A and B are shown apart, each in its own frame.
Chain A
Amino acid sequence: MEGHDAADEPLRQARPGRTQVSHRDHGDFDRDLDHAHHHAGPAVDAPPLAHDAGALISARSLWLTRSGRSILQGVDIDIAPREIVTLIGPNGAGKTTLVRVLLGLEVPDRGSTVRKRGLVVGYVPQRFDVDRAIPLTVARFVELGRRAEDDEIAGVLADVGADKLGDRQFSELSGGELQRVVLARALVRSPDLLVLDEFVRGVDYAGEAELYTLIGRLRSERGFGVLLVSHDLHVVMAQSDRVICLNRHVCCHGVPQSVAQHPEYARLFGPQAARAFGLYHHHHDHRHDLAGEPHPPAADRPDAP
């Protein structure tokens, strides 16, 4: 499943992002490392059923069953302004379903979701099957996110490193280009919240690091909140303010390192995963251009054999 050998990745200490961002008080390990309720049924230690009034999105007690399969079992989640929340969990843990519920694409059986008034969401879906039947330039695709002037569209395309793609046909983009262009469409909306579902899937280690860096930089510049669904159990964007570990219910959550040391995490993914838990940091020894070619083509990449 992983695109690289994460076991070689040492457990590093988190450090603050390069740019100063006023974090909320999620940095406090002990206080933040809640033991959330585990199993079906109302748990004794469940948080009070009040929504977080300051959150961009606040959901309480989300329950959802599809085709007789219980997918969400009392999930609570809040995403604060400017906060980067990474959602991890095994396959079938309900990550994408939770995102769909938060976006209003799926209605839960029970539970409630409160959005900040006038919340603007930018969304990068997990799958994007490009339809060649529709003639569409990249610029026009971006403009479908919000009516925008040409220079605005050129601006967001430049922001994601896709400045030369505006006149290209959307259906002719490569995988890496497509990701950036879909991100540009999310950005043109000037979102309060950016939702990225398995954004780095299919990208190699260095490409992943670069995309995470991009997201971190954009968050610092624009100040939106980010909900990032990660397909990787034990490599998490270092700038995450919080990591939420989901397995139908919220197993544990906290700042990145604290999650790796949490017994629930080890129970869910195994002690090896906990040892291998790594964080993306800003520094990396090379970058990838849009064609996916490394610059410089380093032989000593962390994932090199």
Chain B
Amino acid sequence: MGEPFLMRALFAGLGLAVVAAPLGCFVVWRRMAYYGETVAQAGLIGIAAGLALSLNLTASVLVVTLVVSALLVLLGRQQIVPFDSLLGLLAHAALAVGVIAASLVRGPQIDLMAFLFGDIFAITTTDLQWIYLGGAAALAALMYVWRPLLALSVHEDLAAAEGTATERAKLTFVLVLALVVAIAIKIVGVLLTIAFLIMPAAAARPLSETPEQMALFAAIFGALSVVLGLFLSVSFDTPGGPSIVLVLALFFAAAIFPTVLRGRR
């Protein structure tokens, strides 16, 4: 079990789990799962561009996620097309462009599956640096806006009337989300990144009494899913990212089950 690639996979997953937990809570609270999905799928364009131009893939994905985030802010100002339709449109346009671009620039051994579902066993030391430095920056930024972001998630007008800098908090959140998506794509791929954000948070919700508790439980679920998922993957030779997501789905099912039985909560 002490193999370097396995240790890198473990540390990558654990690092991401800690950052994804509080961020994922806000994605759930602010109902931005589909928004995040769109940003993540757009990341495929970044991968294609990065491969074509021989850039660091995380950096090129980050550029694309930031551009798409800005685009969504601009497009969100019109109201003729509803925002969720817009997200659906952009997510799939991005996926189409990304897959076509990836097929055009495909080199000798480019595996599209690795970008769609992640390849946690291929994490390099450079990737780990991105995960820990970028993750620390993301976490710090999120801590900084935690209180205003929470207040505006509960009731935006009330928070704004109380003098909360709501626009700054929202902008910070969107930027942090773009950064974490860029970091996560190598690990869990463009199609599973949002799952890794929202599933630990969703599993933590029924057990939590406070927002901070929910973030903490989400981190625990995320970390456990990485450990168990990797174990599953190594034991049964299943793909890493999907194995982690499968464990998270089981966590969620177990956590929500008592609530469903009770009727409502």
Contact = CB atoms under 8 A, between A and B. Distances in A.
Interface of A: 100, 103-105, 121, 123, 125, 128, 131-137, 140-141, 144-145, 169, 182, 185, 189, 195
19 contacts: A104-B161, A105-B157, A121-B162, A123-B162, A125-B158, A128-B155, A131-B29, A134-B150, A135-B205, A135-B209, A135-B213, A136-B154, A136-B210, A140-B210, A144-B150, A144-B151, A144-B154, A182-B158, A195-B161
Contacts of B162: 121, 123, 145, 189
Contacts of A185: 158
Interface residues of B, number: 24
Contacts of B150: 134, 144
A285 to B, nearest CB: 35
B154 A141 contact: yes
A105 B156 CA distance: 10
B211 A136 contact: yes
Interface string B197-232: 000000001001111011000000000000000000
Interface in B125-170: 147, 150-151, 153-155, 157-163
Given A131-B153, A131-B154, A105 B160 contact: yes
A176 B252 CA distance: 34
B28 interface: yes
A100 B157 CA distance: 9
Contacts of B213: 135
Given A123-B158, A131-B154, A135-B208, 9 more contacts: A103-B161, A105-B161, A121-B163, A123-B157, A131-B153, A134-B153, A136-B210, A136-B211, A137-B210
A225 B28 CA distance: 38
Contacts of B210: 135-137, 140
With most chain B CB atoms within 10 A of its CB, the pick from A104, A135, A136, A182 is A135
Nearest to A169: B209
* Interface SS, B side: helix
With most chain B CB atoms within 10 A of its CB, the pick from A121, A131, A136, A185 is A136
Contacts of A136: 154, 210-211
A127 to B, nearest CB: 9
A101 to B, nearest CB: 11
Contacts of A133: 28-29, 31, 205
Given A123-B161, A125-B158, A131-B154, A137 B209 contact: yes
Nearest to A123: B161
A42 B210 CA distance: 53
Nearest to A185: B158
Q: Which 5 A-B pairs have the closest CB atoms?
A: A123-B161, A135-B208, A103-B161, A144-B151, A134-B29
Contacts of A123: 157-158, 161-162
A1 to B, nearest CB: 24
Contacts of B163: 121
Contact of A121 (B31, B161, B205): B161
